[in-house]
Amino acid sequence: MNFTRWSARLPGTQRRAAARTEQTASPDRRGEGSVPAARSEQLTDEPPSVPAVDELRVREVLDRVPSLVALVHGPDHRIAYVNDAYTTAFGVRPLGERAREALPELDALGLFPLLDQVQRSGKPRTVKSRKAPDGRSYTFTCTPVAQGDGKGGSAGRGVLVFATDVTDHAEAAERLRASERRQRETAVTLQRSLLPQELEEPDDLRVAATYHPGGTEAAVGGDWYDVITLGGGRTALVIGDVMGRGVRAAAVMGQLRTAVRAYARLDLPPHEVLQLLDGLAAEIDANQIATCAYAVHDPNEGKLVYASAGHLPILVRDENGTVLRADEPTGPPLGTGGWMHSSGSIPLSPGSTAVLYTDGLVERRDADLDEGIAALERALAGATGTPQVVCDRLVRSAGVTPDHDDDVAVLVLQHPARTGPDSELFRNAALELLGGVEAAPRARAFASGVLTSWRFPADLHDLGVLATSELVANSLQHGTPPMRLRLRRTDRRLIIEVTDGDDHLPRRRRAEPGDESGRGIAIVATIASNWGCRRTPGGGKAVWCEFALPRTQGT
């Protein structure tokens, strides 16, 4: 194969040849007596002239370059030339043979469709960083080359394959990707470790939650959720989202989640919890903004009382399939300061399902946020089954995939409508206490009759009557009307609660031997599994205690 016939048609070759012709045809003219150019060069100390690039032979250049070069021609890509670097990398290749059989390395790299495309179109193409059978990575550029006889069709066109070794760059890029994967794994591990490993299981609610980290980079956000049993049958439900990405956002999330659990133990109204959390968020990082929704469920009230710090509205599907949306956020995001949050409520009757979620579930770059929330409402309207089934269906309906560009957290809770034998395990009884000396014995008699009808064993019956007597006596002595006694049983515990109109919260204290009072709360705390107190929304307080039921009582 005459390589000169091909090299004359390399891009730019004809242009450089024409330039040389013009320079030769226009010699430098000098006046009389001037020294000829050749002699003037000999009389100077300047080094001999270096041959121009255009004077170099193409083959000599290609033979010496460290990159891999091959030239193929014709529709079946027959080998016209391979340089020394190519031979060193892949071995000797016979000229004139079809490349598909003689250059198996190009076939392994999937380059033959590209060669066909370049030959047909006459336009160069490049593929980046492909790993060859020799273990090295190359970037291939395929350039069309016309034959020296001027044929311009694809049959008279060859393809120059130029491969640059980019192994070092590819390895560096892979190390960078591996480092990013490790960082993301660290962030995801931190994020998941800060989320509840197991959700608490309230007596009156069924709950499920899911978390999906966003993207494939180290861009894990600060989404979180939590379920906190408050005692007395009440449950707090939390969902939040720390703005930002990475380990920092996850760390701030962990601090806020821990603080929420601590504040929840105070059994404060939702807006007061967020008020405390707002101040803490500003102390943690004044530049870190977070949204949060905090809700409390009391099975005796049939509603969720909630407060929101810039978070998305809670959705509730009632027993008839109608979806309700909670009112707009009741305050700005956490960390902004200078705002008084307020509490709202939304019905949650038996048979209802509520959903708390972060913006990754409904927010899309190409759609309005309200459209995403409306789509979630439609999905919730048709979602039935257990909370976990509902959770999974909502995530699927939102199109959340492993490469989703934002974190997603979803918390689903159901207040089941209990019927049949199951309903026998959930009972309520209440008595209005009018005050006076007859209130205490009347309360004891009422508690005794209720506990007997609920078929509690004798020891639990007696402890329940004693706890009722002490709580009522405490309310009669330190509280004000109206006063009310409420007994409640679930499949796991007996709850005794007394409310009155005074908002002074009792505390357990050590009574001295001569004291005539101060022992009631201490007795209750000793005999009960748990006890607590809280202020009620309309003013006043509630003091309660719990007794865990024997396993046979919960079946």
Per the structure block, which two tokens stand in for 180?
Answer: 């990013």
Cα end-to-end span (Å), the chain = 92
Are the beta carbons of 552 and 542 closer than 8 angstroms? no
CA contacts within 13 A on the Cβ side of 553:
20
Could you give the angle at the alpha carbon of 355 between the alpha carbons of 298 and 393, nearest 5°? 140
Mean pLDDT across the stretch 88-101? 89
Please, what is the average pLDDT of the chain? 83
Task: Give yes or no for residue 11 having a pLDDT over 60.
Answer: no
Task: Give yes or no for residue 523 having a pLDDT over 80.
Answer: yes
What confidence score (pLDDT) does residue 36 get? 44
What confidence score (pLDDT) does residue 346 get? 94
What confidence score (pLDDT) does residue 515 get? 52
Residue 252, C-beta contacts closer than 8 angstroms, at least 6 positions apart: 222, 242, 244, 281, 284, 285, 288, 290
What confidence score (pLDDT) does residue 154 get? 59
CA dist 322 and 324 (Å) reads 7
CA dist 221 and 206 (Å) reads 27
Residue 202: name the closest of 178, 233, 224, 163 by CA.
233
CA dist 376 and 154 (Å) reads 56
The answer for 298, left when phi > 0, alpha when psi is -120 to 50, beta otherwise, is: beta
Helix ranges (DSSP H) in 83-158: 84-90, 99-102, 104-108, 112-121
pLDDT in tens, 459-495: 999 999 999 999 999 999 888 999 999 999 999 999 9
- 3-state DSSP call for residue 227? strand
Rounded (10°) angle between helices 246-264 and 270-284: 140
CA dist 443 and 431 (Å) reads 8
Are the beta carbons of 122 and 144 closer than 8 angstroms? yes
Q: Are strands 493-500 and 541-548 parallel, antiparallel or unpaired?
A: antiparallel
Cis peptide before 482 (omega within 30 of 0): yes
459's enclosing H/E stretch is helix 458-478
Task: Give yes or no for residue 49 having a pLDDT over 80.
Answer: no
Per the structure block, which two tokens stand in for 428?
Answer: 């309520």
Mean pLDDT across the stretch 309-328? 92
Per the model's pLDDT, the better-predicted residue between 403 and 270 turns out to be 270
Per the structure block, which two tokens stand in for 492?
Answer: 């796991």
Going from the C-alpha of 484 to that of each of 270, 373, 518, the distances in angstroms are: 24, 42, 21
Task: Give yes or no for residue 70 having a pLDDT over 80.
Answer: yes
Confidence of residue 24 (pLDDT cuts 50, 70, 90): very low
Per the model's pLDDT, the better-predicted residue between 515 and 34 turns out to be 515
Residue 337: name the closest of 270, 277, 426, 294 by CA.
277
Mean pLDDT across the stretch 323-334? 85
- 3-state DSSP call for residue 436? coil
Which residue has tokens 């994967």?
A: 181
CA dist 183 and 405 (Å) reads 17
**Going edge to edge, which strands form the sheet with 206-212?**
206-212, 408-415, 352-357, 315-317, 323-325
Residue 288: name the closest of 228, 230, 335, 358 by CA.
335
Are the beta carbons of 276 and 300 closer than 8 angstroms? no
pTM of the model: 0.68
pLDDT in tens, 532-546: 999 988 889 999 999
| Strongest mean pLDDT among 25-29, 194-198, 424-428, 497-501 | 497-501
- Cβ burial of 548 (10 Å; 0-12, 13-18, 19+) is middle
